[in-house]
Structure 1
Amino acid sequence: MLAEAGGVSVKTVRYYSDQGLLPGAGRSTGGHRRYGAADLARLRELRGLRALGLSLPTAAEVARGELPLERALAAERAEVARQLAELRWREAALAALAKAPDRLPVLGAALQGPPTLDPFAAFWRRVLPVRLPSGLKSAIVDAVLPDLPTDPTPDQVLAYAELHALANDRALAAAARTPAGKDPARLALVYQGADEAYRLALAELARGAEPAPGQALDCYVAAFARGAGRTDDAAFRRELTGLRLTHPAVDRYWSLVGVLHDGRPTMGDAHDWITAALRSAR
């Protein structure tokens, strides 16, 4: 009997036949279903694929040769990885709540669904100048988004939740917004130059260099000098040293991202490195 040989129920065999998944299924003159070796092979293939978690439609596509097995398995593995990451976040969130029960409102608001970067992208789009060229703004947003761990610690989950609350505070973002006093062309010069300077500083941080004058600092100062229509000289550097160029909300953002990055340098660290280098050069 096909069902017994294939290790499934008679009901399953009937269903697969009705769906056209058993190629040789026909009926005898007495109206009974008849199956051959090809049907048994197809049944065993379907059962194996279903046992590994593939949906019946996907398993059927593979069995009929409409979908390469490699593609089906890659998609299933990606889905399993997503589910495992979601479970790890949930486990760490429970541990975080046990550690800090007073943070339940923050954790609950942040983890209503899988962790996402969308609130952070929206935060930076509100903070960056409105008149900044859209292409440059998108590139900056991509550069400042944190990396979310797939296997977070309780502290990282809590940092994510705090970051989520900060990013969704529109009043805070409005207060942190960079004044749009310059024309778009000058704004672009400042932000393009600063982005390049931060990347140079990240390279210095990666090799463990102490803050000091050099290419990263020169690039940073030159960007602000061009934006202000000034010359990069000692007087301008003294003025720049005395300015607070980030809002406390942005400082808090980078502090929390530092927890998510588990010690790996961030753009915030690059800014601090350049600021320290500027002061050391006085």
Structure 2
Amino acid sequence: MNDHSTLFTIGQLAARTGLSVRTIRFWSDSGLVPPAGRSAGGYRLYDTAAVARLDLVRTLRELGLDLDTVRRILDRQSTVGDVARAHVRAMDARIGALALQRAVLRSVAQRDSTIEELRLMHDLARLSAQERQRMIDDFVDRVFEGIDPQAPGAGIGQAMRQLPADPTPEQVDAWLELAELVGDASFADRVRQMALAGAAAPRNPGPQGYEPSGVLEHAGAAVAAGVDPRSAEGRAVLDRIVDPGLPAAERARLADQLETFTDRRVERYWQLVGVLNGRPPFPPGVPAFEWFGAALRAHS
């Protein structure tokens, strides 16, 4: 007898695969691993294809797939080679999930995590890549519902659509913080407010009355030096950023605009996305723009 004609009893199949007789019988009764025939005594007999199917079912179940989903996958396979190829794809997914869990455990070992952080990290590590992506997609869909994806500000949603499959400890920490952010309803509301304001803004607004680089340079230096934006020294710094003759109404408009589109948590979001995508870190700029807005209101 060659391997293609070898038949196994359910007990032999259990010994060959390491699965329990009870599990094999349950999967067989569910139609996932049908017997190839029966013995003269009426006992089920399984062929080598059943061995391959059992291994694939076990891998798919370990990935968290329910029996109906496993059945749909198996229904597309016809030969042992088909099953083996599907098994390779499933194992690749399993390897990715294990790599993620390893990265999470490494991060836990390197930091003094709180119980809440540990719980969240454990929950995130157990999610499949599909489920993690769904978490991001739900956030994006909730925040940008009805908003043109090309509108200013909508890029914040697209930027987070990919998470690393095998993150470094630094990326695990960034991912943990990012997961907390997107799960915060107040953050989602703030991002939606910014996205709606960006979508409603004219596409060609004309000169904005200041150079962002000038804000970072002059207001940033004022923040570092502890200059009060309401003081005379603050007024002198402001005059280096905007025309001293800028009308009060225009100063108020600029301050309103800055208040709408300046948010420390949103900037932190972009910093974390940069970590996840392996980009070099950038210094925070929001404090400079907050100082600038306060100075505009104080000297209107």
TM-score range, shorter chain: 0.5 to 0.7
Matches within 5 A, 1:1-282: 6=6, 8-9=8-9, 11=11, 21-22=35-36, 27=40, 43-47=47-51, 49-50=52-53, 52-54=55-57, 67-69=78-80, 71-112=82-123, 113-114=126-127, 116-125=132-141, 128=144, 132-133=147-148, 140=155, 143-176=158-191, 177-178=193-194, 180=196, 186-187=200-201, 223=203, 226=204, 228=205, 231=206, 236=208, 238=210, 244=258, 245-263=261-279
For the Cα contact (< 8 Å) 2:147–2:195, is it kept in 1?
Answer: no
| Per-residue Cα deviation, 1:69-104 (whole angstroms, up to 9, x for no partner) | 554334322321222222222111111112112344
CA contact 1:89–1:150 (8 Å) conserved in 2: yes
Percent of aligned positions that are identical: 19
Distance 1:141 1:21, change over 3 A: farther
Q: How many angstroms does 1:164 deviate by?
A: 0.7
Measured at CA, do residues 171 and 68 of structure 1 come closer, stay the same or move farther in structure 2, by a change above 3 Å? same
Distance in 1 between residues matched to 2:34 and 2:94, nearest whole Å: 32
Cα drift, residue 131 of structure 1: 5.8
Q: Distance in 2 between matches of 1:121 and 1:61?
A: 29
Structure 1 distance, partners of 2:135, 2:34, is 47
Alignment-mate amino acid for residue 167 of structure 2: P
Q: What is the rounded CA distance, in whole Å, between the counterparts of 1:22 and 1:6 in structure 2?
A: 10
- Aligned residue pairs, count: 208
Measured after TM superposition, the shift of residue 119 of structure 1 is: 3.9
2:6 and 2:48 in contact (8 A); partners too: yes
- Cα offsets for 1:176-230 (capped at 9, x unmatched): 4317458x6x45x6xxxxxxxxxxxxxxxxxxxxxxxxxxxxxxxxx3xx2x4xx
Give the RMSD, CA atoms, in angstroms. 5.0
- Separation in structure 2 between the aligned mates of residue 67 and residue 44 of structure 1, nearest angstrom: 13
Shift of 1:51: 7.0
Gap runs ≥5 in structure 1: 190-222, 276-282
TM-score, structure 2 normalization: 0.50
What is the Cα deviation at residue 252 of structure 1? 0.5
Structure 2 contact 74–83 (Cα < 8 Å) conserved: no
Q: CA–CA distance in 1 between the matches of 2:276 and 2:54?
A: 37
